[in-house]
Amino acid sequence: MASTVFSNSDALQPKNPQLEPLELNPSTGEPFLRVEGFDDIIITPLRWEDAPTFIPYMNDPAVYSWVSGPPVPYLPSDAEQWCNRMIPPQKATLFELEKARDQPALITLNACPVNSIRKVNDDGTDLFIGSVDIHRVSLGELVLGESGEYVVDMSRKEENQKRNEEREVGDPDIVWEIGDYLAPSYHGRGIMTSCIKTILTKWAVPRMNTRIVRVSVFSGNIGSQKVFLKNGFKHIATLRDHVVVRGETRTLEVLEWRLS
């Protein structure tokens, strides 16, 4: 990798083999994944101090128009809530890896300890530019109908979500979901396409035994659909007028990826 991203040859302590394929920042010890095809983009855990950087992204219509979860306007208290939701589980995953340090085989995990996309500067500092996280899917109402096509059955939503949540770690039938956004000034450079490929191939498949990923994208979000299609996802359903987001009824396009 070019001068921008640190080499691990001078790491302070021997790396825990369970971290594979995460690398460690030699100055801070922070784990990271390299993003394929980019010399200066990495994915790390979220940091408490990231909030002031990502609040403006969440208040930009180029981002919030296409996501349903975060409130608008997005306030410091919302950012704090997001950090509280993300950081402790990421630390817990890293702790689980540390506890397994001496196990001869790589353990399988229920989560990915990194989500924060960062641009690394020549001096080693970095800038938070987006997020990509993988978690169990919440679209339990999407069921396979008798015709072999996916249909909506709201009466099955809760039961399906519960079953998906209860599956054992490493169960290949777990359905996962990816949530992502990028700072507007970095859109359209191929970054998210590569970040999703990185998360899937470097972590989700080998370390979580992920076999199925299902994502829902607002109709009209061409960029997001392209990102997933370019990563091998297939369009499986259009859910017309399915959700109300900030008072507006939105149609969802559902795309699915299966490990072939």
Which residues bind to ligand COA, rule: CB under 6 A? 63, 66-67, 180-182, 187-193, 217, 221-224, 226-227
**What is the rounded distance in angstroms from the CA atom of residue 216 to the CA atom of residue 178?**
9
Which CB sits closer to ligand COA, 25 or 225?
Answer: 225
Phi/psi at 105 (5° precision): -105, 150
Closest CA to 4 of 113, 114, 118, 117: 118
Cβ 236 to ligand COA shortest distance, Å:
15
Which CB sits closer to ligand COA, 24 or 132?
Answer: 132
Which CB sits closer to ligand COA, 105 or 222?
Answer: 222
Cβ 222 to ligand COA shortest distance, Å:
4
**What is the rounded distance in angstroms from the CA atom of residue 243 to the CA atom of residue 249?**
6
* Closest chain position to ligand COA (CB): 223
Cβ 33 to ligand COA shortest distance, Å:
16
Identify whether 70 is preceded by a cis peptide bond (ω within 30 of 0).
no
Cβ 195 to ligand COA shortest distance, Å:
8
Closest CA to 91 of 41, 131, 48: 48
Which CB sits closer to ligand COA, 209 or 221?
Answer: 221
Cβ 110 to ligand COA shortest distance, Å:
22
Cβ 233 to ligand COA shortest distance, Å:
11
Cβ 42 to ligand COA shortest distance, Å:
15
Which CB sits closer to ligand COA, 6 or 181?
Answer: 181
Closest CA to 61 of 199, 181, 179: 181
18, burial (CB in 10 Å: exposed 0-12, middle 13-18, buried 19+): buried
Check the CA dihedral 140-144-150-151 and report its sign.
Answer: negative
Give the dihedral of Cα atoms 16, 18, 22, 24; nearest 10 deg.
-10
Which CB sits closer to ligand COA, 78 or 93?
Answer: 78
Cβ 237 to ligand COA shortest distance, Å:
15
Identify whether 73 is preceded by a cis peptide bond (ω within 30 of 0).
yes
Which CB sits closer to ligand COA, 90 or 216?
Answer: 216
Which CB sits closer to ligand COA, 52 or 190?
Answer: 190
